[in-house]
Amino acid sequence: MAYMYLPPKGDKPVVTLLHGKNFNGAYWERTAQFLQKQGYGVLMPDQIGFGKSSKPTGYQYSFPVLANNTRELMKSLDIDNAVIVGHSMGGMLASRFALNYPDATRKLILVNPIGLENYLHFVQYKDVGFFYQNELKQSADKIKAYQRKNYYAGDWNEDYAALTEPLVGWVQGPDWNDLAYVSALTYDMIFTQPVVEEYDDFNVPAALILGTRDRTGPGRNWKKEGVEYELGRYDQLGRAIRARNEDIQLYELEDLGHLPHIEAFDRFKTVFAKALP
């Protein structure tokens, strides 16, 4: 399990930053620098199956397993507890971590997490083979086109393009068949291991930071017959989550999409600083 770690200064806590499915710990660089300047420690793991960590094809990929891996990593670094921050798929993982290890969670902060909806309530179940065949069709152009359309509302620049390089390298590399299968396995846990039904069980302080332009909705292309519900309405999901648990702090960033910490860091850091303990 690869990771990057910046120790805290004085009595400041550690902030553990959990990446999304299409990313790795490195995209937290600017956030980590911001935190370190204030004295926070920063832990940025690459989860098993992602980034520079190992990617076994015969592994039990699940949010409880990845949460346990993260907890064991923290223990190995003598980190008793941390602020747990998760983005996108990392938000589902962070939520599971907080539910399983409340004593190790100073605060939970979710940044445009997926999993704010229980997807199988609305979409058809698809097995690992389905996702594997989809992944085998990936290309550099498709990866960039998807992120440009869905993450940045058609905008594009060198910083955004740089975030696609690891995925493009995988697709163009000799191990893509195995990596595509690993990716399919991790898609499965997004659909079959919901966390949102347990949001009222949080025993830790929690905050939700949402770019409201985001429309990320896994499975929207294979909704169940007769379902009219629109997935991924992040301009509405914050209020829906607050209805589940009114103790969750909500910070909404108008006109920002799925990656507010990349798209407009100065705006993001303002609300992030408010959410930090």
Q: How much of the chain, in percent, has pLDDT values that exceed 70?
A: 100
List domains and CATH numbers for the chain: 3-119+194-275 (3.40.50.1820)
**CA 226 to CA 207: how far, in whole Å?**
34
**CA 199 to CA 218: how far, in whole Å?**
19
Q: pLDDT per residue over 113-162, tens digit each?
A: 999 999 999 999 999 999 999 999 999 999 999 999 999 999 999 999 99
- Residue 262 near residue 163 (C-beta atoms within 8 A): yes
Instruction: For residue 154, give every residue at least 6 positions away whose Cβ sits within 8 Å of its Cβ, in sequence order, or none.
Output: 148
Q: pLDDT per residue over 22-42, tens digit each?
A: 999 999 999 999 999 999 999
| Residue 208 three-state SS | strand
pLDDT of 138? 96
Q: pLDDT per residue over 46-63, tens digit each?
A: 999 999 999 999 999 999
pLDDT of 174? 96
Q: pLDDT per residue over 168-197, tens digit each?
A: 999 999 999 999 999 999 999 999 999 999
- Residue 169 near residue 70 (C-beta atoms within 8 A): no
pTM, entire model: 0.97
Tokens of 197: 């039904």
Report the pLDDT averaged over residues 79-104: 98
Res. 65 pLDDT band, cuts 50 70 90: very high
